[in-house]
Structure 1
Amino acid sequence: MEFQNLLIADNGRIRYITINRESKLNALNKATLAELHTAFSDAFANPEVGGIIITGAGPKAFVAGADISEFADLDVEGGTNLSRTGHTEVFDLIANGSKPVIAAINGFALGGGLELAMACHIRIASDNAKMGLPEVTLGLMPGYGGTQRLTQLVGKGKAMEMILTADMITAPDALQYGLVTHVTPAAELLAKAEEILNKILTRAPQALAAAIRCINAAYTDGVNGYETEIEEFGKCFGTEDFKEGVAAFLEKRKADFKGK
């Protein structure tokens, strides 16, 4: 499929998804969200893809927010449907994906852009990045998971402050708060993302997927994360990758995982 708002490229087992609306600071309009749903669905289903790096085109922005022009004519029902569709089709799809997703934040990540980054499993940022949830300045509030995921990542107090003041934070602050795990010079951002993801891709794919499910279970209402861990741990013993991992350990060699 040809995308109008995304660039898709593969580097080995890494799938790059780049939001390509640089003149709009890569803002998320409905068309881009629909393409993200397709792109991530394809990447998760493709056996040749081991993990995904998502970033924004150009040096200024990862994603500077949603396309506010599309909000102007919405009523309560329309706003509710907009949020629910975004959650289901994009943000939850990424968060619950079976393959690791790294957000490489290259500049502004505001509103829906920060929410997109927070849906990813790991976030790293360039040293010039700025992050925030400014929705209350528009008479809105975060609607793509921001109130929930920011609280999980930085704690209730800091999430309250960031959302209620609408202030942006710097990349070093985001690192201190636990919102990102690494800060790099802009020129080194994608190399650092690849370094992390390539290390992850040496591990057993089914074990990675199981670990993602278990970590997410810790934040899912009505789910006992400990029971999820017990079940997923047991399932690992039925995989070929487990047998290979143990054999490689005992034979003092590097494991050759097949994702089976």
Structure 2
Amino acid sequence: MTGSIDYLAKDGRAYITINRPEKKNAMTNAMLDQLMDGYDRAEDDDDVRVIVLQGAGDDFTTGHDLAEVGTEYGETTFDDKGRPRKPSQRARLLHDKAYLARFERVFKCLKPTLSLVKGYCLGGGLYLAEASDLVIGADTAKMGHPEQKLGLSGAAYFAAWEMMAMGPRKARELLLMADVWDAQTCLANGLLNKVVPLAALSDSGEEWAERIVRLPRDGIVMGKAATNLAMESLGISGQFSYGHILHTLATNVRYEGDEYNFMKQRRDKGVRVSNHEREAFYVKKDEARARRSRD
């Protein structure tokens, strides 16, 4: 199963649901395209005044499906001697520009956006939450950028927004430590507007959606347009001008012998094993440092 993006419009709301719970709502490229279609539909529907993004099952989304990561730049090509060639920089830039445009689409949507986060909200999933106007988190929410351990090491599409929301110190901590923060830590650092019990998440979302729905249509759209202009004036929207360039550079990392190469290990051992090994690699390093400090 590849999952789906489900869409329902009623009572002034557009509900967009990421539906692949058996994979913690990890999204394929096809699902990401469907997600953009959902935002287009909601923005074009004059009866929709607020967009509610949520995940099916226990999680929001773990972001881009790791099974596709590393092959997004196309099939391997070969030179005239049969040796494999890396994807060209132009191929990388074209893909990364289109990929980033999806998150910019959500960020600049002319309808207010509300994300309801429960369970894992990681990587590209965190970008979707950061791109939203409002985010309510369940007490089960776990948010972060563990994908930084793939070799990106700070090249986040939303780094400018994260610095504005959290301050540069905490933003750098979120990226360089690549920890997954619990709901209360996310609340304290500006990733969430509020935290509610899991059982109350839907009702809390409905309460806020209803308050937005009661606002006039023109007022809603002009308010969002003004917000976008403010983001431009603060320089936050500049992240969409340079993010794809930095990502292209970051995905061309040269790994040394003592470094964990997720792409190579995934090729040899599969996604699940290599993902666990990646986490264990960094935990072991941290434990070794702790032992040295105690000694």
With structure 2 as the length reference, what TM-score do the two structures score? 0.69
Larger mean CA deviation between 143-152 and 205-214 belongs to 143-152
Q: Find the partner of 2:63 among 48, 62, 65.
A: 65
Deviation for aligned residue 1:134: 1.6
Deviations 1:103-143 (A, max 9, x none): 10011000000001111111110001000012221112577
Partner of 1:163: 175
Instruction: State the partner residue of 2:84.
Output: none
Q: Does 1:30 align with 2:29?
A: yes
Any conservation in 2 of the 1:86–1:144 contact (CA below 8 Å)? no
CA–CA separation in structure 1 for the residues paired with 2:155 and 2:90: 14
Aligned to 1:207: 219
Alpha-carbon separation, structure 1, partners of 2:153 and 2:138: 26
Q: Distance in 2 between matches of 1:214 and 1:117?
A: 20
The 1-side partners of 2:64 and 2:91 are apart by 15
Contact kept in structure 1, 2:159 and 2:171, CA below 8 Å: yes
- Is structure 2 residue 54 aligned with structure 1 residue 55? yes
Tell me the amino acid that sits aligned with residue 212 of structure 1. K
Equivalence map 1:219-258=2 (5 Å): 219-220=231-232
Q: Distance in 2 between matches of 1:171 and 1:19?
A: 20
The CA distance in 2 between the partners of 1:80 and 1:69, in whole Å, is 21
Aligned to 2:149: 137
How do 1:45-124 and structure 2 match up within 5 A? 45-59=44-58, 61-73=59-71, 74=73, 75=87, 76-88=89-101, 90-124=102-136
Work out the CA distance in 2 between the residues paired with 1:62 and 1:50: 22
Aligned residue for 1:176? 188
2:64–2:124: 8 Å Cα contact kept in structure 1?
yes
1:112/1:144 contact within 8 Å kept: no
Distance of 2:133 and 2:215 partners within structure 1: 16
In structure 2, list runs of 5 or more residues that go unmatched. Answer: 74-86, 236-295
Q: Secondary structure at the match of 1:200?
A: helix
- CA separation of 1:129 and 1:39: change in aligned 2, threshold 3 A: same
For 1:150 and 1:78, how far apart are their aligned partners in 2?
28
Secondary structure of 2:127 counterpart: helix
Q: 1:110 to 1:126 in 2, by over 3 A?
A: same
Per-residue deviation at 1:86?
Answer: 2.3
Aligned equivalents of 2:42, 2:156: Cα separation in 1: 21
Work out whether residues 154 and 172 of structure 2, in 8 Å CA contact, stay in contact via their aligned partners in 1: no
Cα distance change on mapping 1:8 and 1:104 into 2, 3 Å: same
Higher-Rg structure is 2
Task: State the AA in 2 paired with 1:15.
Answer: A
Q: Following the alignment from structure 2 to structure 1, what is the Cα–Cα distance between the partners of residues 34 and 211?
A: 28
Percentage identity across paired residues of the two chains: 30
Q: How many Å apart are 1:81 and its aligned residue?
A: 3.0
The number of aligned residues is: 219
Alpha carbons of structure 1 residues 173 and 33: separation in structure 2 relative to 1, 3 Å: same
